Amino acid sequence: MYSGLTAMKKKSVAVVIVSNGPGELTTWVNPVINELNKINKALCDDDKINFTLRLVLVPCPNATGKEYLVANSWNKFELITKSKSFWKLLIKPHSFANWPKKGVVIFLGGDQLWSILLAKRLGYLNITYAEWISRWPQWTNEIAAMNLKVKKLIPKKYQYKCQIIGDLMADIKLGSEISLKNTEKNYIALLPGSKKAKLSVGVPFFLEIADHIAEENQNINFIIPIAPTTDKSEFLFFQSERNPIAKYYSSKIKTIKKIKDSCFDSVIETSKNTKIYLIEKYPCYEILKECDLAITTVGANTAELAAIALPMLVVLPTQHLNKMNAWDGIFGLIGKISFINKFITFAIKYFYFKKKKFFAWPNIKAKRMIIPERIGNISPVKIAREVLFLIKNKNKLKSISDSLQKERGNKGAAEKLASMIVNAIKKL
């Protein structure tokens, strides 16, 4: 299980980072470990702290399975444990490596409880980065909060543990060399989903949205960031007759071609000659940041788009809920039984959707409608009309972007969190 750097000698303190998905690795973990090493390098030789960096990946439904490869490619960790090994690590940590007597466990993704359990098991201090809420303040040693709202949600008797450090995602390096604004065109990002259940609806639905928009406005370019869990072949599959939902939509893919000497990797051309550019790099915030608007389905991607203050329109067509055999997991299995399928569809439509107030993460956390959500029996043409209205209404887009920005924290969080870790180590 050892990977990355191999320690030349035994270190006295372990810095153990707990994380889960590719987004958290890129936007939270990497900036923090870079700041840790920067602080240590800046100290004089006599003051340098001796620590090893270890990464523990934890089980998460939003993980892609490629997190280990991503982290290992950085060559910055003495030890990386895969998510499937987490429970074994918790029970028998010494079966993976020798653990120093002193250390700090930092939560940077997944479930906050996992980092607390691991810290207790190893006898280490625990620091939790709380983006929206600190769930177990009584059991953690220190809390690094994104903003004042997070601190206020902590019971008063535990607020002394909390420091407001800002927003780790505000420190995202966007890559200033990327610019889409060298033409008069607008750019719209399409995010139809990353899992089969969402793609089965999202691919034909979003293709038709693009065709309707292009028919009315030729001054718009479309891009799709391809999630790590999918590939171009799935776009072809879900727009074909092999996907039973595709028959409800007329838009099809005519070709997918590679592109050279471009920030895009490929281009889809629909049967109605609409071009949609594909980006395989993940994450691609530097390109998304340049877009005017994103059309997305519900999910964690709404939080990532909010972090770069990109205005978005969130759509969730509910007219295909009866096609449960296209879904993943237990719903896909039991949905094949006709009467159960009808019962689940009825329950979701008339209880879950009516009871749930917000579906997009920015709206859920702000407890108000910051970004528009269109949930229900919606059509691509209706969404296309709203998108065309938003693209023309620059003040509305700016208002959404400003509201998203206000809900986030300030920059400089990675440096402050690294300082908290270093100070905790010095006290050990």
Spell out the domains of the chain, with CATH numbers in brackets.
Answer: 13-167+410-427 (3.40.50.2000), 186-407 (3.40.50.2000)
Q: What whole-number distance in Å separates Cα of residue 384 and Cα of residue 369?
A: 20
In tens digits, the chain (428 residues) has pLDDT values of 444 444 444 457 999 999 987 778 888 998 999 999 898 888 767 677 788 999 999 988 667 677 888 889 899 999 999 999 999 999 999 999 999 999 999 999 989 999 999 999 999 999 999 988 999 999 999 999 999 989 999 999 999 999 999 988 877 665 545 566 566 789 999 999 877 778 889 999 999 999 999 999 999 999 999 877 678 889 999 999 999 999 999 999 999 999 988 889 999 999 999 999 999 887 788 889 899 999 999 877 888 898 889 999 999 888 876 654 444 444 444 555 555 656 665 666 555 566 677 888 889 888 899 999 998 889 999 999 999 999 999 999 999 999 998 888 788 999 999 999 999 998 88
Nearest CA-CA partner of 276 in 249, 256, 250, 262: 256
Q: What whole-number distance in Å separates Cα of residue 424 and Cα of residue 325?
A: 51
Q: What whole-number distance in Å separates Cα of residue 338 and Cα of residue 393?
A: 45
Q: Are 302 and 314 in contact (CB under 8 A)?
A: yes
Contacts of 367-371 with CB under 8 Å at 24 or more apart are 370/400, 370/403, 370/404, 370/407, 371/302, 371/306, 371/311, 371/312, 371/313, 371/314, 371/400, 371/404
Say if strands 266-270 and 253-258 run parallel, antiparallel, or are unpaired: antiparallel
Per-residue H/E/C for 187-242: EEEEECCCCHHHHHHHHHHHHHHHHHHHHHCCCEEEEEECCCCCCHHHHHHHCCCC
DSSP state of 6: P
- Residue 53 burial by Cβ neighbours in a 10 Å radius (0-12, 13-18, 19+): buried
